[in-house]
Amino acid sequence: MKQFSFPSAYTILVAIIIFVAILTWIVPAGQYDTRLDEAIGKDVPIAGTYHEVDPNPQGFEDVVLAPVAGFYNPDTYEANGIDVALFVLFIGGFLAVVTHTGAIDAGIAAAMSGLEGKEKWMIPILMFVFSMGGTIYGMAEETLPFYLLLLPVMIAAGYDALTAVAVILIGAGIGTLASTVNPFATVIASDAAGISFTEGLNLRLVIYVIGLLVCIVYVMRYAEKVRKDPSMSLVASMQQSNNDHFLSSSEGGVPELNGQRKIILLLFLVAFGIMIWGVSSQGWWMARMSALFLVMSIVVGIVGRLSEKEFTDTFVAGAADLLGVALVIGIARGIVIVMNGGMITDTVLFWAERAVSGLSSIAFINVMYWIQIMLSFFVPSTSGLAVLTMPIMAPLADFSNVGRDLVITAYQSASGVVNLITPTSGVVMGGLAIGRVSYNKWLSFVWPLLVILSVLLMIVLSIGAVA
């Protein structure tokens, strides 16, 4: 019997487009009266003004044009999501150039070698390093090469394979959950919600710091328990097999953290610092941010002494790696195009308004968190989920006197929790496969942490709702 394979994000989003088009023949068409919100510079719906209008059901042509219209309007040539998609491609090229220089590998390897004999401190330091990658740019697939680097070191230090997997997967995961400036989550979601991604930054920093500390303590407690008594390991039955496999196959060849790579790591951080400065104080948005990462890619290429061909090939390959993300953005926005064309977006908003009417701001944001938890299982793409849900979820905040930035924080926190366990993620399943940790063992290890994080997030979101 052929094994069931969960559909890709593309298939799910196209299916949603078709489903939404069918709904435009069933759901009553309607609209809200709107007013200009000077704070976000866009028209927002006025609660209590919903009224039905003449229907405009969407047909076959509308469905097939929807993914195209997600990038630009084929009738007016007005840009929709093309600016965000291009930004994703440019930052993909930038990340590829930085990675190609070996600076990131060298930085992590240097941190590990500097802790020889003090192995237990590898856990907090490396989890912090991986979390920085997660919160700055959503580090995910980029973590996979580090499993083979870290597994032999952790096992030789008396820990187990699960500890090494947890350091990387949870370290990067908690950073992505907070996503302080992650362009693939926070920036895209903020753009879809019509606000600057710097709004809500302070709360996301709080989630990042507290969440990281909780995760470090959780992993360190398990690691020390295993080091003192190997029989307490959840993968104790594989101890000898893992020793034979990882300790005999560890390889050298790790790049050296020389002066050149130190400068590149500094440039990497400077690029994101300039992005935050530009958006928060200079009015930058997608075009200028794209130009920033193009320029910084060239600077890194020069510092890294890449040839012209080496630079261009690496940059283009990096952009190509994120072409899927760019396509997801357009397809997901196509859903909103069909809903708007069929005049049912405001109807769905009206139903949601009635569902949350009477809820306090605290109840509203916690309901929003659990809605996003559910949706994250069905739409595994973080970027796709942002573009799909924010146009509807963000305006709901206006009805409940909650900032739109808090809805974004609820979305990315929920997505971050789910992405630590979702079996549709190549990052999760790939990391577990490299570490030889079964999925059920991983669930046994991580589920108490997920409960702790969810409680923490609900508390922080509740405080944010009344602050």
Report pLDDT digits (tens) over 128-141: 989 998 998 787 76
d(CA 375, CA 370): 9
Which of 220-224, 276-280, 307-311, 337-341 shows the lowest per-residue confidence on average (mean pLDDT)? 276-280
Phi-psi domain of 49 (left: phi exceeds 0; alpha: psi -120 through 50; beta: other): alpha
Whole-number pLDDT of residue 78? 58
Tokens of 450: 């997920």
At 80 the three-state DSSP class reads coil
Q: Residue 120 carries which DSSP code?
A: G
Q: Is 282 exposed, middle or buried (0-12, 13-18, 19+ CB in 10 A)?
A: exposed
Where residue 459 falls among pLDDT bands split at 50, 70, 90? very high
pLDDT digits (tens, 9 = 90+) for 45-79: 776 788 999 999 999 999 998 888 888 766 655 55
**Closest C-alpha among 113, 29, 47, 26 to residue 356:** 47
CA–CA separation, 62 vs 69, rounded Å? 9
Closest CA to 416 of 462, 382, 367: 382
pLDDT of res. 250: 46
Q: Identify the weakest region by mean pLDDT among 96-100, 101-105, 361-365, 451-455.
A: 101-105
Q: How far apart, in whole angstroms, are the C-alpha atoms of residue 217 and residue 449? A: 10
Contact between residue 227 and residue 154 where contact means Cβ atoms under 8 Å apart: no
Give the model's confidence band at 213: pLDDT under 50 very low, under 70 low, under 90 confident, else very high.
very high
The more confident residue out of 220 and 104 is 220
The 10 Å Cβ neighbour count of residue 150 is 25
Helix-helix angle 323-341:9-23, to 10 degrees: 10
A 10 A CB-CB count for 452 gives: 15
More confident: 225 or 120: 225
Amino acid in position 108: I
